[in-house]
Chains A and B, each alone.
Chain A
Amino acid sequence: MEIAAAVSAGERSALEVVDEHLDLIAQRDPELHAFNLVTAESARAEAAAIDARVSAGEAVGPLAGVPLAVKDNMCTKGVPTTCSSKILEGWRPPYDATVVERLRQAGAVSVGKTNLDEFAMGSSTEHSAFGPTRNPHDPSRVPGGSSGGSAASVAAGFTPLGIGSDTGGSIRQPAAFCGVVGMKPTYGAVSRYGLIAFASSLDQIGPIAADVSGAAALFDVIAGHDPLDSTSIGDFAPTASAVLDEGVEGLRIGVVKELSGGPGGVPGLAVDVLARAAEAVEVLAAAGALVDEVSVPSSTLGLSAYYLVAPAEASSNLARYDGVRYGLRVDGPTSPEMTTATRTAGFGPEVKRRIMLGTYALSAGYYDAFYGKALKVRTMMLNDFARVYENFDVLVSPTTPTTAFELGTRTQDPLTMYVNDVCTIPSNLTGHPAISVPFGVGDDGMPVGVQVLAPALHDAQTFRVAAVLEAAS
């Protein structure tokens, strides 16, 4: 990255870089509310330490001095970590998430914790206990979610890099809404240790950046094996930055009919978004890719399977917020009454809705009809995609059905909100990598994102294709 190169060479001071970005945040974040917490003091201290190492001739990391926004569902030692929920009030983790630790080692300077939908449950960052984040391109619109704070931070120029987490599209959808690059890695490519769980089998941390090369540099730092995460892939060597110039000549690219407005596919895809996606496909074909339409029938079942699997796991993951050990406690005459009072006061309505949904889906007598069936859909999807990838290297689709919508227009009807993730969910259910790259604007002038999907472990391919689209947009 440019900043890192200049800081490492002693041409720019990391402290100056950080101060410039902190100034921008101070000016505009009161309006946008990308951050739950700005850690200016520790950011300046870290930057000064990097400058000192540079002047001492010591080696600094590949992201030296680059300001970074960390989604507030990743543990930062001694720094409040809230998940944008009242239930974690006052809690300071005693440890750093593996990703946070890796980024510090690489020299990135975290300037704060970014807003999200409470416990990452949402697609607009409106379900935050601390108020919504606004889209930097049009503050009357949402930035998407749940990593809306990190995406908005990058889009507003507060930080060149942001870290998000993606359970059903929570990196890619806000990246598309905010006109930045966002990528969900292969499940297990990036350690989840220290990521506060929403749905463990779907959650994955990933990069958000202003451009593809920034996202690739960030990915290369955060990906790799972590013995603290049992689902971490054993020998994953990230190579995204190395393949950005390889082009797409000869690459077999499939356009997923069901996610691109085809008959029998997912409904509700906007005409302008579909037009941009079609133009992106033309760009790839012109660049020498072998493009064809392809059907992945089970991709239409993703949304309903997701809304059983994710809440089921969430209902269990969020049980620990019982008022006994940390965070909020609302007292009651007995221990169970204390826990009930704490959870009633501490969780917002969307979190409660999903806990109830998940509890129901796992209940005796309903497991087979709901959770069990969702697992079958997941297997079916894995098989479908495996078959498609016999003939294709990557697939493309729009990232979202529409461009960013106005604040307050979808919060009353959960289903219209959930539909936002219809194109991004399949990659979470299969554990495959996918990237969203900005490609033009919609009729409303708001950014449109195009999604590139690849089979497991082929994360680098998504960056490679995204680089071609970025160059043409």
Chain B
Amino acid sequence: MSEPAPAAASETPVESALPEGWELIVGLEVHVELDTATKLFCGCVNRFGAEPNTNVCPTCLGLPGSLPVMNERAVEMAMILGRALGCRVNRSVMARKNYFYPDMPKDFQTTQYDQPTNSDGLLELADGFVVGIERAHIEEDTGKSVHVGGGGRINEAVYSLVDYNRAGVPLIEIVSRPDIRTIEHARNYVEELRAIVVATGVSDARMEEGSIRVDANVSVRLRGSSELRTRCEIKNINSLRSLGRAIEHEALRQIDLWTTGSGPQQQTRHWDEDAGRTTPGRSKEDAEDYRYFQEPDLVPLDPTPATITAIDEAMPPLPAARRAALRAATGAGVDAARLLVERGQDGLAMAAVAAGADGAKTVTRLVNDLAVDDWSKVEAESFAALVRMESSGELSASQAKQVLGDLVEAGGDPAAHAAARGFEVMDTTELESLLDQLIDDNPGEWSRYCGGDEGERKKMQGFFTGQIMKATRGQADGKVVAELLAKRSSS
């Protein structure tokens, strides 16, 4: 791993979970399964969840005499993801990583070594923090072993079963630079990477199905120093929650070892979710020598500049750009923009604002009231009309919320839904007489409204608004009520 970017390091917020004076250093290796129709080197279907050993052929079983043929769509997806991460796309070659393991049919993994497809990119998190990307390379997945008996551990199992359906599924491994300094940023990095992967359409990135997997390289150092101390690689992290817990646990373990002795050993460790701790795997001393060499059965990948240009031109808007555009158009804050882009509702917001809806109202309505899985029936135009109705006072906030519910259910015209619900604009004189009655009935509250400080005034405004809503069964516009109260008290 190379040195962290100094600018990024100096701007990092303090990691609260670590003892005073210690700094966390994290680099992440994320494996993403590409959503291709077929596997990386053969015509077998690339699908999760099939009966064991049904999507296999001589090539992905590594039978004697079989040969790989590169899936060109997988290469294209790799380059798309590389460009989305701002990487340079290189002339690249496949290499063999040699080691024995029963779920690896050829007893070598076809991957990339010193000449990866993508290198030197960066990933900007939602809060603007930038993480360097060292490389994003193509490789094949292995099969899956199930160890039966002996607590599921390979060396204690009575026997093992291997499913080769996953063997040869195309993966992209994205290796970050050790730029990450907080657990929050580690999570954000994976979230952001996942968003980019989904936006570019290269994978569905389902962590629970293993189509995105994360290993974390963790080390610690004294704050203010620029050294890189011994790191440990944490494997078997299956969720964002695990990622945070694993990093925190590992950092504390290392700090303890540095404080009480000469520090940790470089090794691979496994995250045990149930026990909430990492357990040792291979250490550096008995690490395998993978004897990498260029895969002689495949030819180099050498995309033309025209291919790269075409990929750039076809690139869909990426999350960072979408957030920026949304914020510029609606004035949304960092968190709201991140949320709406994550939900894919930024297009709806932009369209609504373009159709004349108020930016702040649009964002509020979406953030608060469209947290549903299926909002496909909500059309931009009708949503814009709804926000306009709310802005003009035709609908109160609570009415607008109900009509939005109707749009989610059935789509269509918000005015029609409002009419069907019997929502009418309350006549102001009608409201005024209602208010007069309330003031007469509640003189104490009224004097507290008129004579109280800011807080008291707010509290009493709530009281009167609530009473009016009760009387009108929610038909009144709270904003209008507030205006009327203010007018009455000053007159």
A interface residues (Cβ-Cβ under 8 A, vs B): 74-75, 81, 83, 88, 91, 93-95, 97, 192-197, 199-201, 227-231, 312-313, 315-316, 319-320, 322, 324-326, 334-336, 339, 359, 362-364, 367, 371
Contact = CB atoms under 8 A, between A and B. Distances in A.
B100 A325 contact: no
Interface in B46-63: 58, 61-63
B70 interface: yes
27 contacts: A75-B64, A81-B65, A93-B63, A93-B64, A94-B58, A194-B66, A195-B65, A196-B64, A197-B64, A200-B296, A200-B297, A230-B69, A231-B296, A231-B297, A313-B293, A313-B296, A316-B98, A316-B291, A316-B293, A319-B108, A322-B107, A325-B61, A325-B105, A339-B100, A359-B291, A362-B291, A364-B291
B262 interface: no
B433 interface: no
Contacts of A88: 64
A230 B68 contact: yes
B67 A364 contact: no
A324 B68 contact: no
B67 A229 contact: yes
A334 B67 contact: no
A162 to B, nearest CB: 18
Interface string B97-124: 0101010011110000000000000000
Contacts of A371: 293
B58 A81 contact: no
Contacts of B100: 319, 322, 336, 339
Contacts of B98: 315-316, 319, 362
Contacts of A324: 102, 162
Given A94-B58, A193-B65, A362-B293, A316 B102 contact: no
A320 B65 contact: no
B289 interface: yes
Contacts of B96: 316
Interface residues of B, number: 31
Contacts of A359: 291
B299 interface: yes
A319 B62 CA distance: 10
Interface string B290-331: 011100111100000000000000000000000000000000
Contacts of A230: 67-70, 297-299
Contact of A97 (B65, B154, B155, B292): B65
B291 A228 contact: no
A320 B62 contact: yes
Given A193-B65, A316-B108, 6 more contacts: A94-B58, A192-B67, A196-B65, A316-B98, A320-B62, A334-B154
A346 to B, nearest CB: 13
B160 interface: yes
A74 B68 contact: no
Contact of B106 (A93, A319, A363): A319
Contacts of B58: 93-95
Contacts of B299: 230-231
A91 B61 CA distance: 14
A95 to B, nearest CB: 5
Contacts of A93: 58, 63-65
B93 to A, nearest CB: 12
Given A75-B65, A320-B62, A335 B293 contact: no
A315 to B, nearest CB: 8
Contacts of A83: 64
Interface in B246-300: 289, 291-293, 296-299
A56 to B, nearest CB: 34
Contacts of A195: 65
B281 to A, nearest CB: 15
B306 to A, nearest CB: 20
Contacts of A199: 296
A315 B289 CA distance: 13
A313 B66 CA distance: 15
A226 to B, nearest CB: 9
Contacts of B298: 230-231
A335 B102 contact: yes
B296 A201 contact: yes
A70 to B, nearest CB: 12
A74 B107 contact: no
Nearest to A337: B155
Contacts of B293: 312-313, 316, 362, 367, 371
Contacts of B64: 75, 81, 83, 88, 91, 93, 196-197, 320
B10 to A, nearest CB: 36
A83 B63 CA distance: 13
A160 B26 CA distance: 67
B351 to A, nearest CB: 47
Nearest to A312: B293
Given A95-B58, A316-B98, A319-B108, A364 B289 contact: yes
Contacts of A200: 296-297
A58 B57 CA distance: 34
Contacts of A322: 100, 102, 107
B68 to A, nearest CB: 7
Contact of A334 (B61, B62, B155, B296): B155
Given A196-B64, A201-B296, A363 B102 contact: no
Nearest to A199: B296
A313 B294 CA distance: 10
A264 to B, nearest CB: 31
Q: Which of A81, A230, A231 neighbours the largest number of chain B CB atoms within 10 Å of its CB?
A: A230
Nearest to B289: A364
B65 A363 contact: no
Q: Which of A229, A312, A335, A371 neighbours the largest number of chain B CB atoms within 10 Å of its CB?
A: A335
A230 B96 CA distance: 16
Contacts of A326: 63
A116 to B, nearest CB: 14
B66 A193 contact: yes
Contacts of A335: 102, 154-155, 160
B160 to A, nearest CB: 7
A378 to B, nearest CB: 12
A313 B296 CA distance: 8
A201 B295 CA distance: 9
A230 B41 CA distance: 10
Nearest to A194: B65
Nearest to B154: A335
B147 to A, nearest CB: 9
Contacts of B67: 192-193, 228-230
B477 to A, nearest CB: 69
B106 A320 contact: yes
Contacts of B61: 325
Given A334-B155, A339-B100, A74 B65 contact: yes
Nearest to A372: B293
